[in-house]
């Protein structure tokens, strides 16, 4: 070091200044590079923190999506089970209502086996029929209809037999072969009828 300083002492002032400027510039460059490196390190740390935060957010969202998918699947299973149950037991109320007439019908059959009084058996069976019709009408909206003498209506009647009649000017129901039924106003079984139609000349 002493040699270097000694050599520098022997140098002209102009060279000394050039070397000093060069050393200063080197120091400035090193300082700038150090600051740039520090800034890069800070930026890398910031980006790493952001990546970690995003990874945690993604993990939370995945977990939430999985939980929601599981809840949706469980909800669908519950709905399917409820639907199956509803279909299986849809007629439970109707069946319960029919149990009493069914019991009474069994009693009438038993009585028919031991009694010789035909009239009392007929009365018992008639009572069961009335009870059955009353339950189906009042609780379930079932209505029988027998359109004898009415104009023929193909929406509510099924013509099983046809007969020409010169006294008719349009098709009329001459006889009901099997009465029809409506459920809350909707035809669920058309009446089977014999239809009279005008005679062709």
What's the average model confidence in pLDDT over 179-188?
95
Question: Number of structural domains, the chain?
Answer: 3
Report the candidate in 191, 115, 200 with the shortest Cα–Cα distance to residue 159: 191
Do residues 104 and 161 both lie within one domain? no
Q: Which of 16-30, 43-57, 62-76, 166-180 has the lowest mean pLDDT?
A: 16-30
Q: Is residue 167 part of a domain?
A: yes
What's the average model confidence in pLDDT over 139-165?
94
User: Percent of the chain, pLDDT > 70?
Assistant: 83
Non-local CB neighbours of 158 within 8 Å, separated by 6+ positions: 190, 191, 192, 193
Q: Is residue 44 part of a domain?
A: yes
Do residues 80 and 99 both lie within one domain? no
pLDDT band at 118 (very low <50, low <70, confident <90, very high): confident
Do residues 50 and 77 both lie within one domain? yes
- The whole-angstrom separation of Cα 130 and Cα 142 is 13
Q: Is residue 6 part of a domain?
A: no
Q: Is residue 7 part of a domain?
A: no
Which tens digits make up the pLDDT trace of 49-65? 999 999 999 999 999 99
Q: Is residue 153 part of a domain?
A: yes
pLDDT band at 109 (very low <50, low <70, confident <90, very high): confident
Do residues 156 and 180 both lie within one domain? yes
Compare 111 and 28 and report the one with higher pLDDT: 111
- The whole-angstrom separation of Cα 30 and Cα 17 is 20
Range of the domain at 122: 91-140
Do residues 18 and 76 both lie within one domain? yes
CA 47, 51, 52, 56: dihedral to nearest 10 degrees? 150
Q: Is residue 127 part of a domain?
A: yes
pLDDT band at 20 (very low <50, low <70, confident <90, very high): low
């Amino acid at each position: 070091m002493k040699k270097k300083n000694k050599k520098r002492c022997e140098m002209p002032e102009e060279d000394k200044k050039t070397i000093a400027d060069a050393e200063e510039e080197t120091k400035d460059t090193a300082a700038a590079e150090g600051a740039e490196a520090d800034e890069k390190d800070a930026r890398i740390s910031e980006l790493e923190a952001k990546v970690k935060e995003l990874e945690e957010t993604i993990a939370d969202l995945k977990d939430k999506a999985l939980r929601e998918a599981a809840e949706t699947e469980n909800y669908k299973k519950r709905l399917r089970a409820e639907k199956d149950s509803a279909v299986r037991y849809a007629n439970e109320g109707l069946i319960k209502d029919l149990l009493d007439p069914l019991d009474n019908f069994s009693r009438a059959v038993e009585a028919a086996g031991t009694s010789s009084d035909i009239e009392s058996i007929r009365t018992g069976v008639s009572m069961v029929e009335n009870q059955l019709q009353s339950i189906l009408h009042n609780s379930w909206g079932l209505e029988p209809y027998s359109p004898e003498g009415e104009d023929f209506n193909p929406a509510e009647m099924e013509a099983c037999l046809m007969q020409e009649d010169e006294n008719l000017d349009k098709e009329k129901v001459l006889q009901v072969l099997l009465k029809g039924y409506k459920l809350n106003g909707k035809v669920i079984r058309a009446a089977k009828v014999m239809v009279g139609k005008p005679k062709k000349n």
